[in-house]
Amino acid sequence: MYEIMYTKKENGHRMVQVMSFHTAQIIRFTMDEYEAGKLPKSLHAFIESVEDAIHRGKWEQNYSSIDKLR
Protein backbone atom coordinates (compact mmCIF):
# COMPACT_ATOMS: atom_id res chain seq x y z
CA MET A 1 0.00 0.00 0.00
CA TYR A 2 1.29 3.44 -0.96
CA GLU A 3 0.35 7.01 -0.14
CA ILE A 4 1.60 10.08 -1.97
CA MET A 5 3.28 12.52 0.39
CA TYR A 6 3.89 15.30 -2.15
CA THR A 7 4.96 16.16 -5.66
CA LYS A 8 7.06 19.08 -6.85
CA LYS A 9 8.92 20.41 -9.86
CA GLU A 10 12.68 20.10 -9.46
CA ASN A 11 15.16 20.97 -12.20
CA GLY A 12 12.43 20.64 -14.82
CA HIS A 13 11.29 17.21 -13.62
CA ARG A 14 8.23 16.32 -11.56
CA MET A 15 9.42 14.60 -8.39
CA VAL A 16 7.05 12.31 -6.50
CA GLN A 17 7.53 11.18 -2.92
CA VAL A 18 5.46 8.28 -1.64
CA MET A 19 5.29 6.31 1.57
CA SER A 20 5.30 2.55 1.27
CA PHE A 21 3.42 1.18 4.25
CA HIS A 22 4.33 -2.37 3.25
CA THR A 23 8.09 -1.74 3.55
CA ALA A 24 7.98 1.32 5.85
CA GLN A 25 10.04 3.30 3.34
CA ILE A 26 9.82 6.70 1.74
CA ILE A 27 10.40 6.38 -2.00
CA ARG A 28 11.31 9.35 -4.19
CA PHE A 29 11.35 9.22 -7.98
CA THR A 30 10.66 11.30 -11.06
CA MET A 31 7.73 10.85 -13.39
CA ASP A 32 10.37 10.20 -16.07
CA GLU A 33 11.46 7.11 -14.12
CA TYR A 34 7.83 6.02 -13.86
CA GLU A 35 7.27 6.50 -17.60
CA ALA A 36 10.48 4.55 -18.37
CA GLY A 37 9.17 1.59 -16.34
CA LYS A 38 11.91 1.79 -13.70
CA LEU A 39 9.59 1.39 -10.69
CA PRO A 40 8.51 -1.86 -9.01
CA LYS A 41 5.33 -3.25 -10.56
CA SER A 42 3.11 -2.55 -7.55
CA LEU A 43 4.31 1.07 -7.30
CA HIS A 44 3.94 1.52 -11.05
CA ALA A 45 0.34 0.27 -10.86
CA PHE A 46 -0.43 2.66 -7.99
CA ILE A 47 1.04 5.67 -9.82
CA GLU A 48 -0.86 4.67 -12.95
CA SER A 49 -4.09 4.83 -10.92
CA VAL A 50 -3.41 8.40 -9.73
CA GLU A 51 -1.36 9.75 -12.64
CA ASP A 52 -4.02 12.24 -13.78
CA ALA A 53 -4.29 13.70 -10.27
CA ILE A 54 -0.50 14.03 -10.09
CA HIS A 55 -0.45 15.99 -13.34
CA ARG A 56 -3.34 18.17 -12.12
CA GLY A 57 -1.24 19.07 -9.05
CA LYS A 58 -3.34 17.43 -6.35
CA TRP A 59 -0.27 16.82 -4.13
CA GLU A 60 1.90 19.64 -5.48
CA GLN A 61 4.11 21.15 -2.81
CA ASN A 62 3.38 24.85 -2.81
CA TYR A 63 5.60 27.00 -0.65
CA SER A 64 3.39 30.06 -1.05
CA SER A 65 0.52 28.14 0.61
CA ILE A 66 2.77 27.16 3.50
CA ASP A 67 3.86 30.78 3.94
CA LYS A 68 0.21 31.88 4.18
CA LEU A 69 -0.26 29.56 7.18
CA ARG A 70 2.51 31.29 9.15
Are 13 and 1 spatial neighbours (Cβ–Cβ below 8 Å)?
no
Q: In the predicted model, is pLDDT for residue 40 greater than 80?
A: yes
More confident residue, 64 or 14: 14
Provide the pLDDT for residue 41: 97
Q: What pTM did the predictor assign?
A: 0.84
Each domain of the chain, given as residue ranges in start order, spans: 2-69
Task: Determine the average pLDDT of the residues in 11-25.
Answer: 95
Identify whether the C-beta of residue 16 lies closer than 8 Å to the C-beta of residue 50: no
- The residue-averaged pLDDT of 46-66 equals 86
In whole angstroms, how far apart are CA 31 and each of 2, 18, 26? 16, 12, 16
> What is the identity of the amino acid at 56?
R
Question: Mean pLDDT across the stretch 49-54?
Answer: 97
